[in-house]
Amino acid sequence: MIFSALNPVLALLATSLIGAAVLALIPDYRLSARLNILFSGAVLAFAVTLFYYRPPTNNFLLTDDLNVVFIVLNALVGFTTSIFSASYIGHEIETGRLTPGYLRFYHAIYQLMMFGMDLALTANNIGLMWVAVELATLSTVVMVGIYRTNDALEAAWKYFILGSVGIALALFGTILVYLAAVSALGEGMDSMAWTNLLHRASRLDPSLLNVAFVFLLLGYGTKVGLAPMHAWLPDAHAEGPTPVSAVLSGLLLNVALYALLRFKMIMSANAATIPVGPLMITLGIGSLIFAAFMLYRRRDIKRLFAYSSIEHMGIIVFAFGMGGPLANFAGLLQMTMHSLTKSAIFFSVGHIAQVKGTQRIADIRGLTASHPVLGWTLVAGVVAIAGLPPFGVFMSEFLVLTSAFARAPLLAALVVFGLLVAFGALLWRLGGLAFGEPRGPTTPVTASYLPIFAHLALVFVAGFYMPGPMVAWFQNVAGLLK
């Protein structure tokens, strides 16, 4: 009765929106940082209730097994990032890198960004989903440029321009999907509801759907960070505050991926459309191999892990492109493990850059000696993201390769090649960063270790054990994705 009296989807959306309005009125950073954590924690609590109660679907909002995976992951990483952000941004104020004037709306924009992503994940209307993705994009653009340096503003403008091109392509694809549905569902909101589109997918115009998906793949693929539409991502990671990097890699890329998966389900339900799997496989493998080689040329530590995100999104898109129960299960697990691991890495990297006063890899050495906690958490994070046991990323990549070798050995060999190239680059960079003679300042830094430990612990446990209900849940979602 308690859950039925409260719509958790409306509650979590309202919490973020109210949080944005309240935090915009509070000039004191310490108070706004605490309230930001409080609002983010409330969103996580409402997201968890979706395990027990899901409100009825209407033409605007939807909850099912697929989006609950994304909503809960979004809320969890959003909450832990708000904790990390409190100490990280506090240090930036103390050092004078950021002024209170620039930070007046920092937490308000953070909540607005979370609102946009959650709205995109819960929208049943494909037009509303597009608007929500655009809102989340514009919010992160503001945060990327918050340092107001030439490089930060350039990165923000590049992100804005390339993101706008991508979202314009996605808009055109969305319009084409609507036009394909009009003949079967009539004009109006019914032809924009994803549930209606999926139910009547076999009656939609296949030629329009084919053209639409190409635009949607290019448009939302830009947001996913797939090569060659990835150019905004490394700059945005390198020049924005590190909490933004954690949110971009851990959350926003997933939101765009979610939109692609929704449209892929419509395509798969119409036998007359082209198979979209080969398109996704091509972009996935291309992104994986391209990013793997680019890891060797990075001189900035945040750019290094930005390209690592491109690599892993390539693996995930490849898995969903392969399709089938095992590959889809592996894609969901890889997405979850990547979000948790990559955000933990950025948490460590953010504090490392603060204590060393630089993001240049050449100027950061011997972290395990000078700052043991940060150094060893970075080691654990890189070992995990490189796909080594006993972490969960190893299990998800093993499942991806198992599925690929059983069905397309040549494609599997290309994936193995990309993984090995990336593995070599990450371990090569880690050797200098973590070990050897320390270089640069050795003064301690006030850091939020709890989010780092929590994420790495979850990824570590996932390498050994996954609860039965979670496995069954992912299996059900994998079946829905076809």
Q: Give me the mean pLDDT over the 384-405 stretch.
A: 94
Reply yes or no on whether the pLDDT at 18 is more than 70: yes
Residue 151, SS3? helix
Rounded Cα–Cα distance for residues 408 and 413 (Å):
9
Closest CA to 55 of 116, 122, 130: 122
400 in Cβ contact with 331 (< 8 Å): yes
% of the chain residues with pLDDT over 90: 64
Q: Which of 54-68, 286-300, 340-354, 433-447 has the lowest mean pLDDT?
A: 433-447
Split at pLDDT 50, 70, 90, the class of 398 is: very high
Question: Would you say residue 89 has pLDDT above 90?
Answer: no
State in Å, rounded, how far the first CA of the chain is from the last one: 35
Identify the band that residue 216 occupies on the pLDDT scale cut at 50, 70 and 90: very high
Give the Cα separation of 77 and 81 in Å (integer). 6
Q: Which helix (H) or strand (E) holds 460?
A: helix 449-462
pLDDT one-digit tens code per residue, 104-149 = 788 999 999 999 999 999 999 999 999 999 999 999 998 998 888 8
| Cα-only R_g, the chain | 21
What average pLDDT does the structure give for the chain? 90
Burial 45-55 (b: 16+ CB within 10 A, else e): ebbbbbeeebb
- List the structure tokens of 2: 């308690």
pLDDT higher than threshold 80 for residue 384:
yes
Instruction: Name which of 337, 446, 373 is nearest 86 in CA terms.
Output: 446
pLDDT the model gives residue 439: 76
Is-contact 313 225, C-beta < 8 A? yes
Q: Does residue 482 carry a pLDDT above 80?
A: no
**342, HSE (Cβ side, Cα atoms, 13 Å):** 30
| 332-362 as b/e: b if 16+ CB within 10 A | bbbbbbbbbbbbbbbbbbbbbbbbbebbebe
Q: What is the pLDDT of residue 4?
A: 43
> Worst-scoring range by mean pLDDT, 49-53, 74-78, 377-381?
49-53
- pLDDT tens-place string over residues 151-166: 888 999 999 998 889 9
β-pair partners for 125: 193
For the stretch 170-200, pLDDT in tens is: 999 999 999 999 988 888 888 899 999 999 9
Mean pLDDT of 341-368: 91
Q: In this structure, what are the phi and psi dihedrals at residue 26, rounded to the nearest 5 degrees?
A: -105, 110
Residue range 63-86: mean pLDDT, rounded: 93
Q: What is the model's pLDDT at position 5?
A: 53
Q: How many CB atoms lie within 10 A of CB 105?
A: 18
- For 420-478, the pLDDT digits (tens) are 999 999 999 998 898 878 877 767 777 788 999 999 999 999 998 988 888 988 998 98
Paired tokens of 422: 């990336």
pLDDT at 101: 66
* Residue among 464, 481, 452 at smallest CA distance from 81: 452
**CA distances from residue 287 to 107, 167, 261, 318, 380 in whole angstroms, order as listed:** 33, 20, 18, 9, 25
Mean pLDDT within 281-289: 96
Query: Is residue 2 scored above 50 in pLDDT?
Result: no
Question: How many Cα atoms are found within 13 Å in the side-chain-facing hemisphere of 105?
Answer: 11
**351 is written with which tokens?**
């504090």
pLDDT at residue 29 in the model: 82
Q: Is 27 exposed, middle or buried (0-12, 13-18, 19+ CB in 10 A)?
A: exposed
Confidence of residue 3 (pLDDT cuts 50, 70, 90): very low
Tell which residue, 111, 102, 119, has the closest CA to residue 81: 111
